[in-house]
Structure 1
């Protein structure tokens, strides 16, 4: 007897791994579970991982997305934020859903688009992964060609830049040159956790106004 996907329950903070999933099956699964869901997926060469983040994961995800949007807006840098949209390329047999992603250099190519097809679209210029309850799959992002990946762990922000097909850890971000981005982001993420998100974001805007 075959199980239907809706019969399978993955609890928050846990993952389920499926093997020998072909591309059409992946597309069917994505359609069946829909876009408005808690679960996130990662797919590579027939292996499909379905993850359900814990609530603290979602909280950190929203904080990071807001910090980046405020920073881009203050610097008057045009962008197209596509959130946790599915990044997929059938030819490369890869798919992944970041916690947030931004088109910056390539923003003009994505105006008006709600979905990403990396068979024809460029990859995001920046992807963000919150590694509090799930492990970042570097391979997906490397193969898909995402130039800059931010990973946030309990130790703070890490920046990885794609060089010759592999990620190299960096202290700087080419999307935000001349800014100590690791130190800055870590400080205001911590403020969100101590004095509250609203006040922390006001402080962040004031710091940018006074220092940039």
Structure 2
């Protein structure tokens, strides 16, 4: 149910289009979520009465897909395991919060959830969540993901990649990924810059570099 008349704020920019609705309770959020087609491009983020609907544009999707490829290459070349959730909804009614992140992954906890449909009431949260926010978001996603218990959070604004590690229920910005400590930030920047010209060459270059580390 809608507890008050929602205030709607629109933000149009290069990376994403956003609309924020305020004054919604959990039931209203769920009704909107259920009413939208599951094949939609728009993503929802709900935080204690505020619902942000994001429509990704080209720059956003380029970064999301290439960061996902970057992560998968790291996982494969380092001999790790992965369960990809993509933008699967991460809902916690008890926290009055929910999100469809750009990408979410189980890596360290992959053995605990392999072959399962995730239930955050009983399963651990994803080990790593990635958000691309080229335009301003009205939702404090750091606070939201910290409350969901996400151990590692990446945020990319089209220029800067920030890595956050959860410590005592609060995110601390760190310089290297706890999941991939061998990879400096410069590698992602190099990968994205090369991928803008040739995605195949970017993948080959990154794989070759990682293989030299294993020798």
Normalised-by-shorter TM-score class: 0.7 to 0.9
How far has the Cα of 1:199 moved from its partner? 1.2
Is 1:93 matched up with 2:96?
yes
Q: Which residue of 1 aligns with 2:3?
A: none
How far has the Cα of 1:102 moved from its partner? 0.8
Select 2:18's aligned residue among 8, 15, 18: 15
- Aligned-partner Cα distance in 2 for 1:209–1:158: 25
RMSD of aligned alpha carbons: 2.1
- Aligned-partner Cα distance in 2 for 1:161–1:105: 14
- Aligned ranges for residues 158-197 of structure 1 at < 5 Å? 158-177=162-181, 179-193=182-196, 195-197=197-199
How far has the Cα of 1:113 moved from its partner? 3.4
Unaligned runs of 5+ in 2: 1-9
Q: Which residue of 2 aligns with 1:141?
A: 145
SS in 1 for 2:104: strand
Select 1:38's aligned residue among 38, 41, 50: 41
SS in 2 for 1:42: strand
- Aligned-partner Cα distance in 1 for 2:200–2:160: 20
1:19-76 per-residue CA deviation (whole Å, 9 max, x = no partner) reads: 2322222222112113211111110112111111211101110000011011101111
- Aligned-partner Cα distance in 1 for 2:133–2:21: 21
- Aligned-partner Cα distance in 2 for 1:84–1:72: 19
SS in 2 for 1:91: helix
CA contact (8 A) 1:72 1:79 kept: yes
Unaligned runs of 5+ in 1: 1-8
CA contact (8 A) 1:77 1:104 kept: yes
Q: Which residue of 2 aligns with 1:60?
A: 63
How far has the Cα of 1:109 moved from its partner? 2.5
Number of residue pairs matched? 202
